[in-house]
Chain A
C-alpha cells in the first residue's frame, strides 16, 4: 500500500488515528462504499441463508470475476461487466432451480456453471495480458481506488435493490420458509425466487467492486449466518445481519488502513471469528442448560 508511507501508522491517541482515517478522500470514499455494500450484503445475505442458497450465492459472486475481466477486455467500465454478468448468472441459476431436479443434479449444474464462469474469467484475463496485478485486484478487490462516481452508482443500485426487497419482504419470507404452502396461498413462488436471485446478483456485483469476486461471499454469508444463529425472528435477524456486516467492514477497512495486510483478510477473519464465537456460545449454553436440567431432576 503506497499511502502507508505518508504517515507513521497507529499513534497512542485514538482521536488522531480517527482523524487520520478521514483525512484522505480515498479513505472516505472507501468507507462510504463499504457502508452501502455492507447494508446491502447484510439484507440479501440474510434471505440467502434463509433460503439455503449459499452455493447459488457463491456462484453468482464468482460470476462477477469474468464480468469484470470481459469488461476490461472490451474496454468498458468494470461496473457494466459486473452488473451484466451477474444479471445473466441470476437468469441461468433461476433456470437451473426452475427445473426442480434432484439436489445432486442441481448442485452439479450450479458447479458446472461456476467453473465455466471462472474458466471464462481466466481466459479473458489471459487474452487481455492485463498483468497479474490486475488479476489480483479483480479477485481480491481493492478499496483504494473507489471514486466518488462509483459511490453514487453503488448508492443508486443499493436503494433500488433494497426497495425491491422491502416491497417483497413478506411474501419472500413466506416463500422461503415454506414454498409449498406459499404456492397454495397464491404467492408467485417461482417469480419471487427469480427476482430474489436478480437482487442477489446486483448485491454481489456491488460488493465485488470493493472486496473482489472471491471475497464477496464473506460479507454475504458470514454475518447473515451469525444473525441466524442468534435469532430466528426476521426483522431482528436482518437488523443484526446488517449491523454485523457494517461492523466488520468498518473495522476491516480501518485495520487495513493502518497495516500492510489486505482488507479482505480482516473482513473475513473478523466475521468468521464472530460466527465461531456465537456458535460456540450456543453449544455452551445448550450444554449448561442440559446439565442444569439433569441437576434439577436429580434433586
Chain B
C-alpha cells in the first residue's frame, strides 16, 4: 500500500487535514456551530467552481470563498451565536450560484473535463501531487498553531460568552476569527473529502470526543485522534476495495467511530450515569 506515491501523498495530506479538522471540529461542536460548518462546505463548492469558470486555481477559489464566507456568517449572527435562518438563506443562495458556475463551466469548456464539479463536491484525495501535499501540510499546521494559540480564551468564550466578555476577552473578534479559521480548514478538507462531506469530518470525530469526555484538552486530543484515524481507515478501505470512493469511506469511518462512542456512553449500558 505504501509503495504507491499517490497513496503516500493521500496519507500524509490526510493526516494533517484530519488533525486540523479534529481540532477545529471540537470547538465547532462546543460552540454549536455545526450548521455554520455545513454552510461553509457549500460555499467552498461555489468558490471552487467560480475559480474554475474564471480559469483560476480551484483551490485558491475555495480558500477565498470559505474564509470570506466564514466572516460573512460571523457578521450575520449576533454576539452570542450565529443566526441559523440567515445562514441558511445565505448558503442556499451560494449553492444556487454554484450551480450557475457549474453550468457555465460545463457548457463553455466542453472540451475540458466535466468532472471539476464532482471533484470539488466529493474530493479527490488520490489525485494529490507532491506540491499539493506540501501546501496542505503547511496550511494545516498553520491552522492548528493558530487554534492552539487562542485555545484558552476561545474555550472560555465558548463556554460562557457573557462572563468571558466581562473578563475582557475580545469575544466578537474571537468568534469572527474562529469562523475565518473554520473557513481555512474547510477549504483544506475540501481537497480531501470534498465540499459536501467535510461536515462529517468536522462533526463526527468531535461529537464522539464530546460524548467521551468533558475535559477540554483531552477532548481536543480525542477529536484529533478520531479524525486522523477515520482518514486512515477510510483510505485503507478505499485502497483495498478500489470500487469504493475514498471520501465516502472516510466519512463512513468517522460516523462509525461516532456511533461506537454513542453506544459506549449510552444510558442503557451504564444505568448509573445519566447524560
Query: CB of A269 within 8 A of chain B?
Result: yes
Q: A115-B204, A140-B99, A228-B85 are in contact. List 17 more A-B contacts (CB 8 A).
A: A108-B203, A108-B206, A119-B248, A122-B194, A132-B118, A214-B42, A218-B92, A221-B88, A221-B89, A225-B85, A262-B99, A264-B96, A268-B92, A268-B99, A269-B97, A271-B92, A271-B93
Q: How far is the CB of B73 from chain A (nearest CB, A)?
A: 13
Q: A272, B96: Cβ atoms under 8 Å?
A: yes
Residues on A with C-beta less than 8 A from B197 are 115, 118-119, 122
Q: Which of B32, B85, B90, B245 contacts A272 (CB under 8 A)?
A: B90
Q: How far is the CB of A172 from chain B (nearest CB, A)?
A: 18
Interface-facing stretch out of A27-35, A50-58, A147-155 = A50-58
Alpha-carbon separation in the docked complex, A260 to B201 (Å):
36
Q: B204, A112: Cβ atoms under 8 Å?
A: yes
Query: CB of B202 within 8 A of chain A?
Result: yes
Query: CB of A9 within 8 A of chain B?
Result: no
Residues of A79-116 contacting chain B, CB below 8 A: 99, 101-105, 107-112, 114-116
Query: CB of A178 within 8 A of chain B?
Result: no
Most chain A CB within 10 A, of B84, B99, B103, B244, is at B99
Q: A111, B92: Cβ atoms under 8 Å?
A: no
Q: B84, A52: Cβ atoms under 8 Å?
A: yes
Q: A139, B121: Cβ atoms under 8 Å?
A: yes
Residues on B with C-beta less than 8 A from A55 are 34-35, 38, 84
Residues on A with C-beta less than 8 A from B245 are 122-123, 126
Alpha-carbon separation in the docked complex, A221 to B95 (Å):
13
On chain B, the number of residues with a Cβ less than 8 Å from chain A's Cβ atoms is 61
Q: How far is the CB of B158 from chain A (nearest CB, A)?
A: 9
Query: CB of A217 within 8 A of chain B?
Result: yes
Residues of B101-131 contacting chain A, CB below 8 A: 102-104, 107, 114-115, 117-118, 121-122
Report which B residues bind A (CB closer than 8 A).
Answer: 29-35, 37-38, 42, 84-93, 95-97, 99-100, 102-104, 107, 114-115, 117-118, 121-122, 194, 196-197, 199-204, 206-207, 210-211, 243-245, 247-252, 254-255, 258, 275
Most chain B CB within 10 A, of A55, A108, A222, A268, is at A108
Q: A107, B34: Cβ atoms under 8 Å?
A: yes
Residues on A with C-beta less than 8 A from B275 are 99, 101
Alpha-carbon separation in the docked complex, A260 to B252 (Å):
37
Q: Which residue of A lies closest to B195 (CB)?
A: A118
1/0 per residue A112-136: CB within 8 Å of B? 1011101110110011000010011
Q: Which of A54, A104, A214, A269 contacts B29 (CB under 8 A)?
A: A104
Q: Which residue of A lies closest to B114 (CB)?
A: A132
Alpha-carbon separation in the docked complex, A61 to B153 (Å):
36
Q: Which of A104, A116, A136, A222 contacts B89 (CB under 8 A)?
A: A222
Residues on A with C-beta less than 8 A from B201 are 115
Alpha-carbon separation in the docked complex, A282 to B179 (Å):
26
Alpha-carbon separation in the docked complex, A62 to B107 (Å):
26
Q: Which of B96, B250, B255 contacts A215 (CB under 8 A)?
A: B96
1/0 per residue A138-160: CB within 8 Å of B? 01100000000000000000000
Q: B102, A136: Cβ atoms under 8 Å?
A: yes
**Would you give 22 A-B contacts (Cβ < 8 Å), ordered by A?**
A58-B38, A104-B32, A105-B210, A108-B203, A108-B207, A108-B210, A112-B203, A118-B196, A119-B255, A122-B194, A123-B244, A123-B245, A126-B243, A126-B245, A127-B243, A136-B117, A222-B93, A225-B88, A265-B97, A268-B93, A269-B93, A272-B93
Most chain B CB within 10 A, of A114, A119, A268, is at A119
Alpha-carbon separation in the docked complex, A260 to B248 (Å):
33
Q: Which residue of A lies closest to B122 (CB)?
A: A122
Q: B107, A54: Cβ atoms under 8 Å?
A: no
User: A104-B32, A136-B102 given as contacts; is B38 within 8 A of A111 (CB)?
Assistant: yes
Q: Which residue of A lies closest to B107 (CB)?
A: A260
Alpha-carbon separation in the docked complex, A264 to B97 (Å):
9
Q: B92, A217: Cβ atoms under 8 Å?
A: yes
Q: Which residue of B lies closest to A127 (CB)?
A: B243
User: A58-B88, A111-B34 given as contacts; is B200 within 8 A of A119 (CB)?
Assistant: yes
Q: B92, A221: Cβ atoms under 8 Å?
A: yes
Residues of A269-286 contacting chain B, CB below 8 A: 269, 271-272, 275, 279
1/0 per residue A200-228: CB within 8 Å of B? 00000000000000110110011001001
